[in-house]
């Protein structure tokens, strides 16, 4: 059982990193294109997943600037949700008809 542990850990790390890389947005991936990261993770055991975790994964944003950005993005989403999507949904446009 003990000799299978490194293989299982390597497999678990590879699966975790592959799923993480696939689910990450293309614009957030660092240093290489997303498809190159996925190929590196799958084809090069241990080195590929570790390099993804260190150099490819998007950096976590924390601190006051990141919090301010999250609030601004939430305000933008709220503003876009309230905005009429077409002329049929705009009461001001319908009044003018």
Q: Note the pLDDT tens digit of each residue in 8-21.
A: 999 999 999 999 99
Arithmetic mean of pLDDT over the chain: 85
What 3-state class would DSSP assign to 9? helix
Provide the residue ranges of all domains of the chain, joining segments of one domain with +.
Answer: 2-95
What are the pLDDT digits (tens) for 71-80? 888 888 887 7
Q: How confident is the model at residue 93 (pLDDT cuts 50, 70, 90)?
A: confident
Q: Is 76 left (phi over 0), alpha (psi -120 to 50) or beta?
A: alpha
Residues in the chain: 97
pLDDT at 94 over 90: no
What DSSP designation does 46 have? T
């Amino acid at each position: 059982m003990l000799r299978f542990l490194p293989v299982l850990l390597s497999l678990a790390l590879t699966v975790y990193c592959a799923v993480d890389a696939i689910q990450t947005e293309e614009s957030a991936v660092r240093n290489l294109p997303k498809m190159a990261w996925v190929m590196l993770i799958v084809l090069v055991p241990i080195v590929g997943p570790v390099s993804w975790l260190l150099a490819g994964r998007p950096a976590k944003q924390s601190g006051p600037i990141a919090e301010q950005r999250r609030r601004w993005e939430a305000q933008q989403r709220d503003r876009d949700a309230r905005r009429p999507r077409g002329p049929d949904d705009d009461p001001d446009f319908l009044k003018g008809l």
